[in-house]
């Protein structure tokens, strides 16, 4: 295994990421920036076990920079007694990583030269042990929000302070040092039950964030300034737990998205071209998100009753986990026939006001289109950044992981989103509430403040990423200069 084209005059950096498009996309875009904007040679270490169709297509495309090399790790089989289809998503992910990183030392040693640094995401912390042996500094790329980073850094302390109950049963919100309190109903899925393996895995990995030489945060200075300032300045993070330096380098999102004429994505853009400015609600719930059959019915009726234009990226219903396609992103399109699970006659009745697209749409291209007026999003961090970077306010519809936390921050702290209300005793958001929220986002007075705030943030993104001088560009430049000094 050889790093092709390596030179000794520029730093060689390796990047390691856990499965799931929500992690792979930002880490891959990060490596592109290292290669193209900062003159690094980069080895992208790819865990191939159970790789989704979308992951395979993305990492083995022909559009990668010549100094970026994807290296497939030999797959280790973790199905034999370790995981099943019923294994919760985070436990399954962590076991896949654990078993597939047993080859990491030999892979790093097989490269032409040892990397000057290894960048990992938060679920690959076994790499700290390997890299300590090889004297390779490790940096953590935190793929989620500043709010989740502050909470995660505080979690090991919270775990020792709260002894006799679950966090969700606390009588008051969790007081994260220097930050907005986290309501118990907004706690991330992995920490809602401290007795299960998902909690133990999450606690294990976030406890090891302090071993990093630095933390790359996928945000910029203006997005959650109070939270970023707290992580950098609050005594808890530096006198109590000794947090590594935090570098805001975001938003790290897709720069471009190729849409071929043969894809359904081109249909979306042609349809948008015919719609008025800021008139369309774009409904897309991420690469892993699914809805129940009952909720899909309510969404359909809500959209129809609103009489607003929409694009709905839809998947077959799943009455099990809302993260039902996490490990199968890009592989479900052939079995996805919307007419078979939408209300009878819906497609015919809404054909002049909406477009239903099975499984996938070119999200960045849709968000950039002037006809898009609102993004109905699951509040995954990648989708959140893409929406804000394009000045599009959101309907916040969290499904799993830390998305409830993101939704609250977007609505209450950042001011670019609205959360539909679930009526007491109801298991779904009703069609009447969906109609209300959709109308509000396109026609209501309330949308004006959200759109104004989203436009402000769009401008601040451009400034943060500008070269030279932008805060995010310069933040990453400082670290790369340290690596280059070691060559």
Residues 210 and 241: their CA atoms lie apart, in Å, by: 8
DSSP 412-474: III--EEPPPPPTT-SS--HHHHHHHHHHHHHSTHHHHHHHHHHHHHHHHHHHH-TTT-HHHH
Which residue is catalytic, options 12, 69, 121, 189? 121
pTM exceeds cut of 0.85 = yes
What token pair was written down for 189? Answer: 């899925």
What token pair was written down for 237? Answer: 């993070």
What token pair was written down for 194? Answer: 């401290």
Model pLDDT, residue 328: 54
Residues 317 and 336: their CA atoms lie apart, in Å, by: 9
Model pLDDT, residue 323: 52
Residues 6 and 202: their CA atoms lie apart, in Å, by: 36
Q: Coil, helix or strand for 109?
A: helix
Look up tokens 């900062």; give the residue: 38
Which residue is catalytic, options 12, 23, 38, 41? 23
Assigned superfamily of 264-461: Glycogen Phosphorylase B; (3.40.50.2000)
Catalytic residue list contains 23: yes
Architecture of domain 12-252+466-485 in this structure? 3-Layer(aba) Sandwich (3.40)
Q: Is the Cβ–Cβ distance between 240 and 231 less than 8 Å?
A: no
**For each of the chain's 487 residues, which pLDDT tens digit applies?**
434 444 446 899 999 999 988 899 999 999 999 999 999 999 999 999 888 888 888 898 778 999 999 999 999 877 667 877 788 989 999 999 999 999 999 999 999 899 999 999 999 999 999 999 999 999 999 999 999 999 999 999 999 999 999 999 999 999 999 999 999 999 999 999 999 999 999 999 999 999 999 999 999 999 999 999 999 999 999 999 999 999 999 999 987 776 765 467 889 999 999 999 999 999 999 977 889 999 999 999 999 999 999 999 999 998 866 655 554 555 544 457 899 999 999 999 999 999 999 988 999 999 999 999 999 999 999 999 999 999 999 999 999 999 999 999 999 999 999 999 999 888 899 999 999 999 999 998 999 999 999 999 999 999 999 999 999 999 999 999 999 998 7
Distance from the Cα of residue 393 to its chain's centroid? 17
**Residues forming CATH 3.40.50.2000 domain(s) in the chain:** 12-252+466-485, 264-461
- In sequence order, the β-bridge partners of residue 314 are 358
Report residue 120: phi and psi, to 5°.
Answer: -125, 160
DSSP 189-210: GGGS-TTSHHHHHHHHHHHGGG
Residues 430 and 434: their CA atoms lie apart, in Å, by: 6
């Amino acid at each position: 295994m050889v790093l092709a084209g390596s030179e000794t005059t520029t730093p060689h950096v390796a990047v390691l990421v856990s499965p799931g498009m929500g992690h792979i996309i930002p880490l891959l875009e990060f490596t592109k920036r290292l290669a193209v904007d900062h003159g690094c040679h980069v080895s992208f270490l790819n865990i191939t076990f159970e790789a989704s169709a979308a992951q395979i297509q993305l990492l083995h495309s022909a559009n990668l920079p010549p100094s970026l090399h994807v290296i497939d790790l030999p797959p280790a089989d973790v199905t034999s007694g370790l995981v099943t289809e019923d294994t919760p998503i985070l436990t399954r992910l962590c076991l896949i990583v654990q078993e597939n990183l047993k080859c990491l030392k030999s892979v790093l040693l097989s490269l032409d030269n040892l990397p000057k640094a290894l960048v990992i995401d938060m679920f690959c912390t076994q790499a700290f042990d390997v890299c300590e042996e090889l004297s390779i500094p490790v940096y953590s790329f935190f793929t989620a929000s500043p709010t989740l980073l502050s909470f995660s850094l505080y979690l090991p302390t919270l775990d020792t302070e709260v002894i006799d109950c679950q966090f969700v049963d606390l009588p008051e919100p969790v007081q994260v040092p220097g930050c907005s309190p986290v309501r118990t109903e907004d706690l991330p899925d992995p920490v809602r039950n401290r007795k299960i393996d998902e909690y133990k895995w999450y606690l294990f990995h976030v406890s090891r964030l302090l071993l990093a030489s630095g933390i790359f945060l996928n945000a910029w200075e203006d997005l959650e300034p109070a939270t970023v300032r707290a992580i950098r300045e609050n005594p808890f993070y530096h006198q109590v737990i000794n947090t590594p330096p935090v570098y805001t380098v975001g938003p790290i999102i897709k720069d471009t998205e190729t849409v071929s004429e043969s894809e359904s994505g081109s249909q979306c853009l042609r349809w948008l071209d015919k719609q008025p400015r800021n008139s369309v609600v774009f409904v897309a719930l991420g690469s892993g998100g699914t809805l129940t059959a009952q909720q899909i019915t309510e969404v359909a009726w809500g959209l129809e009753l609103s009489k607003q234009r929409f694009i709905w990226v839809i998947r077959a219903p799943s009455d099990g986990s809302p993260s039902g396609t996490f490990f199968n992103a890009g592989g479900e399109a052939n079995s996805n026939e919307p007419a078979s699970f939408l209300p009878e006659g819906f497609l015919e009745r809404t054909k002049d006001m909406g477009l239903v697209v099975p499984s996938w749409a070119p999200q960045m291209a849709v968000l950039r289109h002037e006809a898009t007026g609102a993004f109905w999003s699951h509040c995954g961090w990648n989708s959140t950044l893409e929406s804000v970077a394009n000045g599009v306010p959101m309907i916040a519809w969290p499904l799993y992981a830390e998305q409830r936390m993101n939704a609250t921050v977007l609505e209450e702290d950042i001011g670019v989103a609205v959360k539909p209300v679930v009526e007491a005793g109801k298991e779904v958001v009703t069609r009447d509430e969906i109609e209300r929220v959709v109308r509000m986002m396109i026609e209501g007075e309330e949308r004006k403040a959200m759109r104004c705030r989203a436009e402000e943030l769009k401008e601040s993104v451009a400034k943060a990423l500008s070269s030279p001088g932008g805060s995010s560009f310069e933040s990453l430049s400082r670290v790369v200069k340290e690596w280059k000094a070691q060559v």
